[in-house]
Each structure stands twice: as C-alpha cells, then as structure tokens.
Amino acid sequence: MEKFIIEGGKPLKGEIRVSGSKNATLPILAASLLTDGVCEIRNIPKLRDTLTMCKLLRSLGKTVEISANKVVISGSVNNHVADYKLVSTMRGSFCVLGPLLAKLGKAKVSMPGGCVIGVRPIDLHMKGIMALGVKADFDGGYVIATATKLQGSQMYLGGTFGSSVLATANVMMAASLAHGETIIESAACEPEIEDLGNFLSGMGAKIEGHGTPRIVINGVRKLNGISYRMGSDRIEAGTFLLLAAAAKSDILVKDAQYNHLLALVDKLQSIGVDVRKDGGDIRVKVKKTLRPANIVTHPHPGFPTDLQAQYMALMAITPGVSIITDRVFPDRFMHIAELNRMGAQIRRDAGVAIVEGIKHLYGAPVMASDLRASAALVIAGLVAHGKTEIYRIYHLDRGYEDLDGKLTGIGAKVYREKE
C-alpha cells in the first residue's frame, strides 16, 4: 500500500482541472450491458473503481478496451453472475443487476461493498426491480433474481433517508427494455442520474424526467451502441472549492459545473468565500476571515453527503462553533477522530458533529477510512503546520484521478510513497 506525505502550509494558486464523474461512470458502464452494439465512452476518469467495473464487464462477457480517458465496450453478455471478489470492493458495481435482468432475464449479483460509511441497505433496489415482475431471493451473500418478462410499473422509491441514486439507476436501466410504461416517483435527482438518462436516451431508450423526482420510461425492444462524453465530477469539483477556501487561495477550478454545486456555493458565499462562475469554470478567492456555519446534508439539490467530511475540515480551522448533521448517512463521521489527531476540536453527539474551530491544525500521521474522509484529511494536511502522513490512500485512488499530480500543479508539496 501507499501513503501521502504532505508538507502543509504551502501557498496554493493557479488552475486545477476536474475529471469525469466517477459516480456517473459506474452506472453508465453498467448500461453498456443493455446492448450488443459498440459503446465508446469518453472523459472516463482513470480510477481504481473504473478499472474494477471494466473487469466486471469482462467477466460478464464484454470486450473492454481502455485507452487514456476513453473506454470502448463491445460484444455480448454471456454470464449472469457478478462475482463477490469484484462487487464487494465497490457499491457502484451492484448496478449491473438491472441490466443483467433486462438482457438475460436472470442475475446472480453479490451483495455490494465499498466505503464503510454506515448501513447502506439494498431494499430500494429490490423494491424497484420486483415491481417490474422480478422474482428475487438471497443465498450465500448473493441476490438471485429471475424474470420471464419485465413489465413496466408505477413505483415509489423514497426511503428513510431520501431517494437512492443507484436504486433509481438500476430501475431505469431495467425498465428501458421492459414491456410498457414505468413511472418512478421519488426518483433520485442527482446529476449522475441525469447523465445516465442522457446516455440511455442516446442508445434509443425513451426516458423523460431524469433529473427530477418523477421519471417516465417507455420500454423499447432494443438499444443501440453510442459514442458519449461523460460530464465532470461535481464532488471532485466541490472538494477543490473547499480546499481553496481552507487554504485561503485564488484558484480556478476548470470544467466545474456551477449549477451542480449550488448548495455548496451558497454555503461558501454565506461564510465569506468569493465564489464565481467563470464560463465553464469556477473561480474561488478568499481575502478575509471566514465565519462558521452549520450544514445539514440532503439528497440533491441539498448539500451533498459526499462533501460533508471536506466541509468539516474547513470548519475545523474556522474560529467559532459549527454543527454538521448528515441526514443521508448519519454514521458518516469516522474522519472526526483523525482530524482530532491533527489538533481539531470536534465531538460527536448522536447524529451531529460539533466543531469548535481553531486557528491552526498540525501535521500528524492519520488513517484514511473511506473515500471522502481521505479527501478531508488531504485538505487538513495541506493547511496544517508541519508534515502529515496519510495512510491507506487506496481509498483516494478510488475516486480522485491523479490527485497528487493536480495538487502539485497548484503549488502543494505532496509525495506518494510506499508504506
């Protein structure tokens, strides 16, 4: 395994570019299972999760060619079993369930894994596909599902903590080849769902309302190949905005979609950060002392849970008290202990984190527990006094393309070494 060594306190300035969307890439790669045609997908981020999904597609019978930031997928599906060794490493791979059922009428998919950020049930996935006429059971850690014929249906996919992006994606893909009309109420509204809907529409699917709480899908008999360019990663972009705010820097975040980050932009502006749309980019400038502010995470268009940890790192060095509540993953607070190792004053009280901001953090050896917690530790390390060592950065490599290279480009001192 590798670790990051960060020499904190270096001035940061310049441009940093956002890669293609990780959270949209995984379901879009899975959607290639729905056609025997050739799918060329561009602006794919080179990530551990992307490579894992490509391995999974190959194991299901697809031919996958990877070059730079492009993936070309061809061939036919000839295997309905998504193996534990692949699916257990990332939750996004569970979205092959819908396409396998639509294409083969059967699927055996391992229960998903991924970051340890609290309980993440698959009840909405099962509710959605079973509404389409699927029979499903559990055996030996696998979902065993069959369907003689997928039949369109009207369903409600709201859950205890809101809608589910991957469950919405699974149903969208399955319903694209189902007989008749499917209506998803309380569908996920995240930009990644809009991206998937655009991809499916380009293949010949009949979908309306993707990106809204009500999606209508009229099934077709066949989907075609497609050449498609991925949108940019809003969470990576948001991470860079928060980094710029924490480092009190002037940074231009390239290829960042402003309209996907309105909740974050609004919060940053409210605490004194100058955030402006600059064509297809976002510029961040900080010239004054920032103010603390509370956040509550919600499904899109609310404040993203995937930026909660990074925002906490910012509040840790913003004098005053802020309260952070995560309504999406209430147990997603494993980064608190590691930030406190760097001098932060954060305590958890049930489902909230109470942050007493201080002037400076101090470098320390810390452990990454999950993808977004890792990003929070990187932000903390970059603004801390002294040297920070971040262990288990394989979490970072799952979701941030060439992060150390990008940070070096704006003046950071970041080194990657073997543990």
| Catalytic residue annotation | 115
- Closest Cα partner for 260 from 244, 240, 239, 238? 238
| Gap between the Cα atoms of 418 and 278, Å rounded | 39
Sign of the dihedral through C-alpha 250, 322, 345, 364: negative
Q: How far is CA 130 from CA 167, 286, 309, 389, in A?
A: 12, 51, 35, 47
| Gap between the Cα atoms of 36 and 195, Å rounded | 21
Tell me the two tokens of residue 180. Answer: 């008749």
User: Which amino acid is residue 295, in one-letter code?
Assistant: I
| Gap between the Cα atoms of 50 and 89, Å rounded | 12
Which residue do the tokens 């696998």 mark? 142
Beta bridge partners of 326: 297
Sign of the dihedral through C-alpha 17, 20, 23, 24: positive
Task: Please count the other Cβ atoms lying within 10 Å of the Cβ belonging to residue 85.
Answer: 12
Contacting residues for 89 by C-beta, under 8 A, at least 6 apart: 52, 113, 114
Output 102-105 pairs: Cβ under 8 A, ≥24 positions apart: 102/34, 102/150, 102/173, 102/174, 102/176, 102/177, 102/178, 103/33, 103/34, 103/77, 103/177, 104/77, 104/80, 105/146, 105/147, 105/148, 105/149
| Gap between the Cα atoms of 228 and 72, Å rounded | 10
Burial (CB count within 10 angstroms: exposed 0-12, middle 13-18, buried 19+), residue 369: buried
| Per-residue three-class SS string for 395-410 | HHHHHCCCHHHHHHCC
Backbone dihedral angles phi then psi of residue 24, each to the nearest 5 degrees: -90, -30
Tell me the two tokens of residue 68. Answer: 């730079």
